[in-house]
Amino acid sequence: MTFNCWKFKGGKSKGCSVCAIALLSFTAGSLITARLAHIDHVRADSNRVFELRIYHTVPGKLPALESRFRDMYSKLLAKHDLQVEGYWVPEGAADWDNTFVYLVAHSSREEAKKNWDAMLADSEVQEAIKSEQANKLVEKIDRTYMRSTDFSPMK
């Protein structure tokens, strides 16, 4: 493949230089635009919050709670736009035995409240809660809302 360059006075090939400068300018402009678009995207998510939920189960009931989340609660959370980032069971720390942890991402605190209210009003969820209270799987639930720091990889 060959490139034809324009020849100007003195036989120098300035056309290739002009094309190279134009291409370099276009590339730099595209990269800057893409970076600025990303910054705007991060700013748009600035109200995003994470909810850390820690369930302290009745001793020996952790497998039953895991099953409930696997088979039922995860679907109900998704149904009500509660975006779970992950579920965890601590291991290797006796103080954390019988503990189930999950993290929910919300677009804002207001959205979190709206989605939780909708889920708790759902008759299917109310039945599940009654069933769980009869079987006494959970002793206590700790929950806290968190915001990402400006240096956090998760925004």
pLDDT at 15: 54
SS3 content of the chain, % helix, strand, coil (to 5): 50, 20, 25
pLDDT at 47: 79
pTM confidence score: 0.68
| Shared-domain flag, residues 70 and 97 | yes
Per-10-residue mean pLDDT of the chain, 155 residues long, equals 50 49 48 47 65 97 96 96 97 93 97 97 94 89 95 86
pLDDT at 131: 86
DSSP reduced 3-state for 72? helix
| Shared-domain flag, residues 68 and 122 | yes
CA dist 155 and 149 (Å) reads 8
| Shared-domain flag, residues 17 and 80 | no
DSSP reduced 3-state for 38? helix
Range of the domain at 60: 49-147
Bridge-based pairing state of the strands 99-106 and 138-147: unpaired
